[in-house]
Amino acid sequence: MQKSDAIIRYIMFFFSLALYFILLPIVLSYSLGYHIDYHNFKIYKMGILSLKSAPSGASVHINGKLRQELTPVRIEELKPDTYSVEVKREGFYPWQKELAIRPNMVTRAENIILFPVLQEMGKIGDYETINFLISDNRNYIYHMTKSGLYRSNMDGTNPKKLSLYSDWPEKILGKKFSRDGGKFLYFNENNIWVVYLVSRDSVKDGELAYVEELLKIPGSIRDVFWHSGSNHIVFVVNKDISVVELGSGGKKNIVTLHKCKKSAEGLYYDENNDSLYFNDSYEGKERLYRIDLREKFFDKLMQRVKKEFDIIYEKR
């Protein structure tokens, strides 16, 4: 090796060594969140504020002072304190929060959503709507109007009159689509109605839907659920949990599945498993119960009906 190369190599080696020991405290202190004030020869513990907004490109005000950076932004060199942070963008409502910056820590506000200032609300349809229902696949709106039942796209376009029926109750407690999407129910305190949506092939009297008042009950209806088969409705009236079979004409096939000790609370129907969860008291203690309507539901139903008929027959 030439002597000059050796000298350059030694210079490079010691330069690299010096560079390492000069850069190391700088890189480490930066990484750990320390700020060196070279004017006053002081070291501060700092914190970082990370802001991300949707939409991005919003201006940031900290304690009322506008920062130059736009979101998403990482604001460093903030001394530990509580800051009033405001994120603004024209045409959107501002976001404002008091954020505490802790030493050597990162304060993140990375899920900021700026909501647009509404200029005009979108009107869906020109009907005098009493109530409405959204199909489970979120493709259609069903408008219950004074001039009949209409169906439109989600933005109100392509309206279609399905039925002339307009006798909607004033107060509707709930509306639910059946799993097959071919019907929906609605109910108030004493009545359950089912709306059958008719396929184009089986149109009767030119109507694409017809409404049936399924049940009229003296008690107070607490909730109504579709059985997954879309042909039965589970309903809870006062203390009774019952099921009714859909079907035109004649007496409705109703079975009371359970009589609660007190009024059933916290009703939840799991459509996937056809199970009804509810609270009831037993021996003075509140318990969570489940009625399983899955397997052999219809067999059970029929056995029960048959048993009742047998009892009546024996009595005779």
Partner 1 sequence: MRRDERLRRLFEIIPGFFTWTTIVGLSALSVIKPLWVAVFIICFDLYWVIRVGYFTTLLLFAYRRLAVEKKIDWLKRCEDLGKTGLFDCSNIYHAILFPVYKEGPHVLTSSIQALLDSNYRKDRMIVELTIEKRGGSEVWENAKVLQEKYKAFFCDFLITAHPDDLEGEAKTKGANATWGAKVLKEYLDSKKIDYEHVIISCFDADTCAEKEYFGCLAYHYMTNPNRTRSSYQPIPVYNNNIWHARSIARVIELGSSFMQMIETMRLEKFVTFSSHSMSFKTLVDVDYWPVDMISDDSVIYWKCFLYFDGNYSVMPMYVTVSLDIATDKAIIPTIIKQYKQKRRWAWGVENFPYLMMGFMKNENIPLTKKIRRGFHLLESHYTWAVWAIIVTFIAPLPLIFGGGVFRQSMMGYNLPSVAAALFRVTVVTLFICMLISIRLLPPRPKDVKPQRRLVMFTQWLLAPILAACVGSTPAIDAQTRLMLGKYMHFQVTEKIRHGITSN
* In the complex, least distance from residue 105 CB atom to partner 1, rounded to whole angstroms: 5
Euclidean distance between CA atoms 233 and 192, whole angstroms: 10
Q: Which residues contact 31 (CB under 8 A, 6 or more apart)?
A: none
**Spatial CA neighbour of 98 closest among 111, 81, 112:** 81
Q: Interface residues for partner 1 in 13-72 (CB under 8 A)?
A: 13, 16, 19-20, 23-24, 27-28, 30-33, 46-48, 50
* In the complex, least distance from residue 60 CB atom to partner 1, rounded to whole angstroms: 18
**Binding of partner 1 by 99 (CB under 8 A):** no
**Binding of partner 1 by 5 (CB under 8 A):** yes
* In the complex, least distance from residue 55 CB atom to partner 1, rounded to whole angstroms: 24
Torsion angle (degrees, nearest 10) of CA 77, 46, 41, 64: 50
Euclidean distance between CA atoms 276 and 161, whole angstroms: 36
Euclidean distance between CA atoms 19 and 152, whole angstroms: 71
Q: Tell me which residue has tokens 């309903």.
A: 235
Q: Which long-range contacts (CB under 8 A, 24 or more apart) does 158-166 make?
A: 159/125, 159/127, 160/208, 161/208, 162/197, 162/207, 162/208, 162/209, 163/195, 163/207, 163/208, 163/209, 163/210, 163/211, 164/207, 165/209, 165/210, 165/211
Binding residue for partner 1 (CB under 8 A) from 70, 78, 105, 255?
105
Number of residues binding to partner 1, judged by CB under 8 A: 27
Q: Identify which of residues 28 and 164 has a Cβ nearer to partner 1 in the complex.
A: 28
The span of 8-16, 82-90, 214-222, 274-282 binding partner 1 (CB under 8 A) equals: 8-16
**Spatial CA neighbour of 170 closest among 202, 136, 144, 201:** 144
* In the complex, least distance from residue 54 CB atom to partner 1, rounded to whole angstroms: 21
Euclidean distance between CA atoms 244 and 250, whole angstroms: 13
* In the complex, least distance from residue 79 CB atom to partner 1, rounded to whole angstroms: 13
Binding residue for partner 1 (CB under 8 A) from 7, 43, 106, 113?
106
Q: Identify which of residues 97 and 259 has a Cβ nearer to partner 1 in the complex.
A: 97
Euclidean distance between CA atoms 26 and 79, whole angstroms: 18
Q: Identify which of residues 47 and 209 has a Cβ nearer to partner 1 in the complex.
A: 47
Binding residue for partner 1 (CB under 8 A) from 65, 108, 252, 296?
108
Q: Identify which of residues 21 and 115 has a Cβ nearer to partner 1 in the complex.
A: 21
Q: Identify which of residues 11 and 154 has a Cβ nearer to partner 1 in the complex.
A: 11
Q: Identify which of residues 106 and 117 has a Cβ nearer to partner 1 in the complex.
A: 106
Answer yes or no: are the C-beta atoms of 97 and 85 closer than 8 Å: yes
**Binding of partner 1 by 10 (CB under 8 A):** no
* In the complex, least distance from residue 44 CB atom to partner 1, rounded to whole angstroms: 12
| DSSP labels, 293-304 | --TTHHHHHHHH
The span of 2-10, 196-204, 287-295, 306-314 binding partner 1 (CB under 8 A) equals: 2-10
**Binding of partner 1 by 222 (CB under 8 A):** no
Euclidean distance between CA atoms 35 and 38, whole angstroms: 9
The span of 80-88, 98-106, 183-191, 239-247 binding partner 1 (CB under 8 A) equals: 98-106
Q: Which residues contact 86 (CB under 8 A, 6 or more apart)?
A: 60, 61, 62, 64, 94, 95, 96
* In the complex, least distance from residue 20 CB atom to partner 1, rounded to whole angstroms: 5
Interface positions with partner 1 (CB under 8 A): 1-2, 5-6, 8-9, 12-13, 16, 19-20, 23-24, 27-28, 30-33, 46-48, 50, 104-106, 108
